[in-house]
Amino acid sequence: MEYRGRINTILLVLVGLLAVAAFGHAAQPAKVRMSYSSRSNSNTPFVIALRKGFFAEEGMDVEMIQVNPRLGATALLNGDIDFTATFGSTLRGIVGGFPLKFVAVSVKKSEHFLIVRPEIKEIRDLNGKKLGVSTLFGSDQKAAEEMIRGKGFSPHMTKPITLGEAPVRAQALRSGLVDAISVSSPFDLSLQTEGFRVLAGPKDVEFALPTSGIAVTTKLLQQNPQHVKRALRALLKAHRFVFENKKEVVSQMMRYLDQAPEVAERSYDLLLLSLSRNGEITDQEWDILTEKKKALDEVRDFTLLREAQKELKIR
């Protein structure tokens, strides 16, 4: 009996140790790699989710990695990253056949401004001129074309030149390498103080033209939906925080892009006009974005997003 009692005690200790080990393992946050294309105010919700601990609350240790927008979708397919926030180039990849889907939209409307050299007075003067873009057919080029169309001219009147992210495009404009660029705040303000002109802005883009979201592989969506939903919950928490905490968000924007207080406040106001409160855009807007080249179910899946909305009481 004494021997059996010792065996039982040992077994209980072992079970306890295994339980502690299992709990410790489960408590470890999942390492997550997420790409974004450029440092801009469009990434503010992701910065907030990281810095305010919303990803951590969902058991995620997120590393934000800047990746050329042309390579984000490929990196996702290769398994080098888990999520990408890049929208325009990723959507183009999906339309082209990549097995990816958007599971949320963050910034749903372009915040871009069309900035031109001082000698260019109006849109018609852009005919045949060089437009500096981050990547061909990316979000900034699409925004420029929609602003030109909104002014009643052909979006194909300019000659796009691939340059890279906003600071590089701004420098190319200063040097005369290009005649126009499309950039978001705060880059438009600094260029205006240097004498460059603003020919159009967000008000000239009538429909949804997202600049950031969350895209995943269809494989991850099928094999680990809870992992995806945790990321969506963190993003929705960040969206709610942005809408409800101006002072703190402005402070974060000042730190993130080294913006002066008045510039960050303007950037915040622009973000509020562009941010999707619930992470969605309409099916009609998706049809416009894809030009109906893909069925909607092949482009986006909001099933998990809507579950997260319900859990967080977000409409």
CATH (domain of 291)? 3.40.190.10
94 and 232 fall within a common domain: yes
C-alpha dist (Å) from residue 113 to 127, 138, 159, 190, 315: 18, 15, 17, 12, 30
Residue 25 lies inside a defined structural domain of this protein:
no
- Structure confidence at residue 109 as a pLDDT band (50, 70, 90): confident
- Structure confidence at residue 19 as a pLDDT band (50, 70, 90): very low
**What is the domain range of residue 51?**
30-109+209-312
Question: Under a CB-based contact definition with an 8 Å cutoff, are residues 49 and 104 in contact?
Answer: no
Tokens found for residue 75: 């990196």
Query: For the chain, what is the domain count?
Result: 2
120 and 98 fall within a common domain: no
Residue 84 lies inside a defined structural domain of this protein:
yes
User: Domain boundary at 167, 184, 204, which?
Assistant: 204
- Structure confidence at residue 297 as a pLDDT band (50, 70, 90): very high
130 and 141 fall within a common domain: yes
Looking at every residue in the chain, the average pLDDT score rounds to: 89
Residue 175 lies inside a defined structural domain of this protein:
yes
Pairing between β-strand 100-105 and β-strand 212-217 as defined by DSSP bridges: antiparallel
235 and 103 fall within a common domain: yes
213 and 160 fall within a common domain: no
Question: Under a CB-based contact definition with an 8 Å cutoff, are residues 305 and 276 in contact?
Answer: no
Give the residue with greater pLDDT, 7 vs 215.
Answer: 215
Q: What value does the mean pLDDT take over residues 47-55?
A: 97
Q: Determine the pLDDT at residue 27.
A: 58
Helix, strand or coil, per DSSP, at residue 114: strand
Tokens found for residue 44: 């503010």
Residue 100 lies inside a defined structural domain of this protein:
yes
Pairing between β-strand 112-116 and β-strand 130-133 as defined by DSSP bridges: unpaired
Q: Determine the pLDDT at residue 12.
A: 47
Span 149-200, pLDDT tens digits: 888 899 899 999 999 888 899 999 999 999 999 998 888 888 999 999 999 9
CA–CA gap between residue 134 and residue 27 (Å, rounded): 40
247 and 167 fall within a common domain: no
288 and 219 fall within a common domain: yes
157 and 67 fall within a common domain: no
